[in-house]
Amino acid sequence: MAGAPEIAHLSGFGGAIGAVLLPLHVSLLSYLWRAFRLTGGSRTDFMSAADGWIRQAFRDLAREKRALVRADDRSVHAILGRIAIRIVAAHTRAVCSQQNDALYASDSDVCPTISALLDLLDVETALNADPDNLNLRRDLLIFKLHFVECLTPQQIESIQSLDLPPSSVEIILNHLRKRLRPRTVE
Amino acid sequence: MQHLTSETLQYYVGGSLPTADVFDAEQHLALCHGCRRELSLLVRITSSDLTEEEAEIVGSVEASMRKRPPVPARFFPLRSHPSSWVPSRALFLDWRFVTVALTVLIAAGLMWVKFSASNSERGRQLASARAFEGRIAGHAYGEFIRTREVVSNEKTPSSPLKVPNAGNEELGRFYLEHADFQNAVRYLESAKAEHPTSLSIRNDLGIAYMEGSEESALIKAVGELRQALALNPQYEPALFNLAIAYERLGYLPEAEQQLKLYLQVDSESAWAQEVKSKLQLRQHR
């Protein structure tokens, strides 16, 4: 197995951009492991597959050189995450089609009770009826990301396009809870 | 309903989705469970918090990489030229292999010349010599003439280190000066957490990574030194050390470029003379 520098060279990353990407090696490995673990993959299997996956990931990154040059830190990690998911999904698809569903299903199955409750309670209608709510879609998305998908407020804040200052998700969620409480009482 | 592609989700998470598309994406995500699930997976996977278990797994994988012999890049067929792979020729024609061998030979020759000088001269040199190639922040110049093994021999059980009662930064630097890189990394990482914008801490942490026994730590060293230079592009110790780190990683053109950058900032000091020597060595190859 080659080390990261060899892999970076091999993938056409020789030069300065290779040096920029090398510190991301650890992140890439952890993203691959997180994705693989969600499919029920074992540590032993990961250890044997990691070499090939890292190699594949760097090849995929080589195709995205142009995007990488202009990307900021968070964007680069998002690219790495997408590539890691794609690689693990392709692997599990090849091994067993049922496992592939697990990659996407395992997250939302964490809190099925709340999910079921939200089906009963039409949150969107409730928020729509709130004349003070100027940002319905975004608030609804934040609400569902937290209560249905079980993302933490910090994870939600890490989504750059939401452009949220620190601790604002907690404030939004508290605000939504208060707004929804009368509705749930009804 | 048109679902969001994985690229769109990536742009959305990374903040590079055009503003006009953000509203549409959020509208869709609020209503589409499938796309929201993919988004949450991407966010969860790229979370910056590395758990102990994850760190341990990643460390194990990196360790297994190190156990296997490093293979020159040209041993692998490049995708665009699969037919050009000839292992036996690649081994002998790889210029990096040749330059590294030449560097070792020249360095060994220089060391032999220095060590064959008189004992008093050697003693005088050793008194002001630095223990490793890296440049600690705030340290005066000392010639680099000793190997790491010589230094480590000094750490015998009969002469334990007298550890000062000080903060993380001072302790980290203390261990670094005594070539105890493991402890140096431990304290300097804590110091970095306390003072994330400190150039000297990042520089010294870079050296501790670089001089430690773990080869993969070179990557971390590059990261720290680049961070220091991002804070101050003219920070001399980081410029100096980054050149060494690149050289050890095999990025020789980048190492040379870094040395030249150093000379733009400092062209007179004893450090600059060492940099010039390194450049001359490279140009003679």
Nearest-by-CA chain B residue for A32 = B45
Average pLDDT over residues B86-115: 67
Helix %, strand %, coil % for chain B, to 5? 70, 0, 30
Q: How confident is the model at residue A20 (pLDDT cuts 50, 70, 90)?
A: low
Domain co-membership, A80 together with A159: no
| Greatest mean pLDDT among A119-128, B55-64, B138-147, B179-188 | B179-188
- pLDDT tens, position by position, A133-156: 667 778 888 888 888 888 888 889
Domain co-membership, A69 together with A132: no
Distance between CA atoms of residues B52 and B184, nearest Å: 21
The candidate with the shortest Cα–Cα distance to B100, out of B255, B257, B252, is B252
**Whole-number CA gyration radius for chain B:** 24
Task: Check if A151 contacts B (Cβ < 8 Å).
Answer: yes
Distance between CA atoms of residues A4 and B221, nearest Å: 14
Average pLDDT over residues B80-107: 58
Nearest-by-CA chain B residue for A137 = B27
Domain co-membership, A102 together with A151: no
Distance between CA atoms of residues B263 and B257, nearest Å: 10
pLDDT of residue B80: 38
Are B45 and B71 in contact by the 8 Å Cβ rule? The answer is no
Nearest-by-CA chain B residue for A79 = B10
CATH class for the region spanning B95-157+164-284:
mainly alpha
pLDDT above 90 covers a percentage of chain B that reads 5
Question: Does residue B20 surpass a pLDDT of 70?
Answer: yes
Domain hosting residue A80, numbered range: 4-106
- Tell me which of B147 and B175 has the higher pLDDT: B175
Domain co-membership, A19 together with A100: yes
Domain co-membership, A63 together with A102: yes
Distance between CA atoms of residues B1 and A38, nearest Å: 28
pLDDT of residue A6: 53
Pinpoint the alpha helices (H) of A40-162: 43-62, 65-70, 73-95, 97-108, 112-120, 123-128, 136-147, 153-157
Neighbouring-strand partners of residue B144: B130
> Domain ends where: A106, A130, A164?
A106
Rounded to a whole number, what is the distance in Å from the CA of B208 to chain A's nearest CA? Answer: 16
> Domain ends where: A106, A131, A161?
A106
pLDDT of residue A113: 57
Task: Check if B253 contacts A (Cβ < 8 Å).
Answer: yes
Nearest-by-CA chain A residue for B217 = A23
Whole-Å CA distances, B100 to A22, A63, B240, B248: 21, 30, 19, 9
Q: Where are the domains of chain B?
A: 1-43, 95-157+164-284
Cβ neighbours, 10 Å, residue B106: 13
- B216–A3: do the CB atoms touch at under 8 Å? yes
The candidate with the shortest Cα–Cα distance to B275, out of B247, B243, B232, B251, is B243
Q: Give A132: exposed, middle or buried? Use CB within 10 Å, 0-12, 13-18, 19+.
A: exposed
- A47–B13: do the CB atoms touch at under 8 Å? no
Q: What angle do CA B76, A28, B66 make, to 5 degrees?
A: 55
- pLDDT tens, position by position, A85-131: 999 988 887 776 555 555 555 444 445 555 555 555 666 666 666 66
Residue with tokens 């590059």: B222
Low-confidence winner among A127-136, B168-177, B226-235 (lowest mean pLDDT):
A127-136
pLDDT of residue A38: 85
- Report the residue from A144, A155, A160 with minimal CB separation from B30: A144
> Domain ends where: A106, A133, A148?
A106
| Greatest mean pLDDT among A7-11, A106-110, A139-143, B73-77 | A139-143
Domain co-membership, A134 together with A98: no
Domain co-membership, A99 together with A177: no
Cβ neighbours, 10 Å, residue B9: 27
- A108–B37: do the CB atoms touch at under 8 Å? yes
pLDDT above 70 covers a percentage of chain B that reads 72
- A47–B60: do the CB atoms touch at under 8 Å? yes
Average pLDDT over residues A67-87: 83
Nearest-by-CA chain B residue for A110 = B37
Average pLDDT over residues B12-41: 87
Average pLDDT over residues B211-216: 70
Domain count, chain A: 2
Domain co-membership, A130 together with A142: yes
Q: How confident is the model at residue B56 (pLDDT cuts 50, 70, 90)?
A: confident
**Residues of chain A with C-beta less than 8 angstroms from the C-beta of B215:** 3
Domain co-membership, A27 together with A90: yes
- Report the residue from B30, B40, B78 with minimal CB separation from A107: B40
Domain co-membership, A115 together with A80: no
Angle between helices B52-67 and A43-62 (to 10 degrees): 80
User: Mutating which of B8, B44, B54, B79 best tests the A interface, going by the most A Cβ atoms within 10 A?
Assistant: B44
Average pLDDT over residues A77-91: 90
pLDDT of residue A121: 60
Domain co-membership, A21 together with A102: yes
Interface of B with A in 35-94 (CB under 8 A): 36-48, 50, 54-55, 57-58, 60-62, 64-66, 68, 70-73, 76, 78-79
- Tell me which of B255 and B148 has the higher pLDDT: B255
- Tell me which of B85 and B235 has the higher pLDDT: B235
Average pLDDT over residues B138-158: 55
- Report the residue from A22, A27, A155 with minimal CB separation from B44: A155
Average pLDDT over residues B110-120: 65
**Residues of chain B with C-beta less than 8 angstroms from the C-beta of A38:** 41
Interface of A with B in 83-122 (CB under 8 A): 84-86, 103-105, 107-108
**Residues of chain A with C-beta less than 8 angstroms from the C-beta of B50:** 30
Question: Does residue A76 surpass a pLDDT of 80?
Answer: yes
A118-123 contacts, C-beta under 8 A, 24 or more apart: A118/A144, A118/A147, A118/A148, A121/A180, A121/A183, A121/A184, A123/A180
Residue with tokens 């003439």: B145
Q: How confident is the model at residue B251 (pLDDT cuts 50, 70, 90)?
A: confident
Domain co-membership, A68 together with A42: yes
| ipTM score assigned to the predicted complex | 0.78
Average pLDDT over residues B112-138: 64
Quote the pTM value.
Answer: 0.49
Instruction: Output the average pLDDT for chain A.
Output: 74
